[in-house]
Structure 1
Amino acid sequence: MKINKAYFAGGCFWCMVKPFDQYEGIEGIISGYMGGHVDNPTYEQVKTGTTGHYEAVEIEYDPALFPFDKLLDIFFKQIDPTDADGQFHDRGSQYRTAIFYVNEAQKEAAENYITSIQSQYNKPIVTEVLPYKTFYAAEEYHQNYYMKDPENYAQEQQLRQQYATKTSQ
């Protein structure tokens, strides 16, 4: 079995794990940080918005069971790709949206996907398509947060949904 990796920044990484974690072919998901200028950043550093890092997830997947385009479908259903300042009630540069490609095929797929959905929005899509940079795993207490603290995770999801509904009206 061949395993590929994909990297997505979609706001708070807590909210990006569960949507991917329920499919055959997804072999692992790690919350972390990438895209910035600080080596081995901590959550305390990243949350200041001064490191340049995005909160992101690393997804290990079997492309024979789960193609990259399907990952893009799931990703774009979790975000507002027109919001340049964060996601829903999570505001700040660390909550920007991006796809970090690891090869030209992922880059092309991401760019084509964005082009194909742009007409669904009345504002430009600002989700960035960027080359892979070092991914730094977040601290252990951030991993699989939705399973460790389902009550807080549910509240976080509810707030995201309320905000998304309010801003789409």
Structure 2
Amino acid sequence: MSDSQPKKATFAGGCFWCMVKPFDEQPGIESIVSGYTGGHTESPTYEEVSSDTTGHYEAVQIEYIEEQFSYEKLLEVFWQQIDPTDAGGQFFDRGHSYKTAIFYHDEQQKQLAENSRQELQNSGRFSKPIVTEILPAKPFYPAEDYHQDYYKKNPARYQQYSVGSGRAGYIQKHWGDNNA
């Protein structure tokens, strides 16, 4: 049993519903909260964020134990859930609130995120440039309760959304069966 304090990682990957499941129930992941970050409005609502007037992104904030699930592993999982070449949103969700970003909590996370983005760009996996931003963490506001653990509460609707939005097919095409 580790006595290490959990660290925070914050990722925006389009619809936050789809960013919980890939990280959930992994050893070393203490919690995953869907919410809003990166903007200028305090305690925004889903409706406000969806209006693209708050500057916020839909995001997840993960508490993790570094010795059990490294930040590098978190980055690897993150990249495999998104289209990092789309600057206008993710799949059929368009607008600022659905853009991708990595919000770093310290200089080490910033460096690791920049390195992983460069490695992905150099890999040749994508024909277009990687446009996911790497930004300093800002206040994080948990989303409304009905957004938390959406994939568990509404499995059929979650699956329908994942497939219907094009996300599942994209992940399958670029990363294979283990990530959709």
TM over 0.5, shorter chain: yes
Output the CA distance in 2 between the equivalents of 1:40 and 1:71: 26
Verify: 1:164 aligned to 2:170, yes or no. Answer: yes
Which letter does structure 2 place at the counterpart of 1:47?
A: S
Q: CA deviation at 1:65?
A: 0.3
Output the CA distance in 1 between the equivalents of 2:67 and 2:105: 17
Deviating more after overlay: 150-159 vs 101-110: 150-159
Tell me, yes or no, if the aligned pair for 1:88 and 1:163 is still in contact at 8 Å: no
Point out where structure 2 has 5 or more consecutive residues left out of the alignment.
Answer: 175-180
Tell me, yes or no, if the aligned pair for 1:43 and 1:138 is still in contact at 8 Å: yes
Cross-structure match for 2:34: 31
Aligned match for 1:99, one of 97, 102, 123? 102
Which residues of 2 match residues 5-20 of structure 1 at below 5 A? 5-20=8-23
Identity %: 57
Cross-structure match for 1:133: 138
Which letter does structure 2 place at the counterpart of 1:108?
A: Q
Which deviations, in whole Å up to 9, do the C-alpha atoms of 1:49-69 show, x marking residues without a partner?
Answer: 111100000000000100000
Number of equivalences: 167
Q: 1:162 to 1:61 in 2, by over 3 A?
A: closer
The normalised TM-score by structure 1 is 0.94
Point out where structure 1 has 5 or more consecutive residues left out of the alignment.
Answer: none
Verify: 1:22 aligned to 2:25, yes or no. Answer: yes
Output the CA distance in 1 between the equivalents of 2:134 and 2:167: 25
Verify: 1:144 aligned to 2:153, yes or no. Answer: no
Output the CA distance in 1 between the equivalents of 2:119 and 2:80: 14
Q: CA deviation at 1:162?
A: 6.0
Q: CA deviation at 1:161?
A: 3.5
Please list every run of at least 4 consecutive aligned residues from structure 1 whose deviation after the TM superposition is greater than 4 angstroms.
none
Tell me, yes or no, if the aligned pair for 1:26 and 1:62 is still in contact at 8 Å: yes
Tell me, yes or no, if the aligned pair for 2:23 and 2:29 is still in contact at 8 Å: yes
1:126 counterpart SS class: coil
